[in-house]
Amino acid sequence: QVQLVESGGGLVQPGGSLRLSCVSSGNAFSSYAVNWFRQAPGKQRELVAGCTSGGITNYADSVKDRFTISRDNTKRMVYLQMNSLKPEDTAVYYCNAGNAYRTYWGQGTQVTVSS
């Protein structure tokens, strides 16, 4: 079974940057797609960015050109580099990994963008 642990959240000013990290346990990390989701108060959880096992990335329109997802299979890590942050980016961010048969979630890390 895979366990995911996020870190790197915090309070930043609008226009600032933050990098989220997620470390995975298990032997099959390189075969999984990895994703970042977020959930703001009173809103549904939404997909922010994803990366397939083959390295194909995709982004929500709201974060395209500002956020970058990356992975390091040797370290079993996934990252989300967030630049030009806006107040509407405030949410709990969750890392996710899985395939067609199973999915795993981290506990979430809070990101607050405020002046």
pLDDT of residue 1: 83
Q: Cβ neighbours of residue 93 under 8 Å, at least 6 residues apart?
A: 6, 9, 20, 36, 37, 38, 48, 80, 108, 109, 110, 111
pLDDT of residue 50: 98
pLDDT of residue 84: 98
According to DSSP, residue 108 is labeled -
Token pair, residue 55, equals: 């390295």
Query: Which residue positions in the chain have pLDDT lower than 50?
Result: none
3-state secondary structure of 69: strand
**Residues 97 and 4: beta-carbon distance below 8 Å:** yes
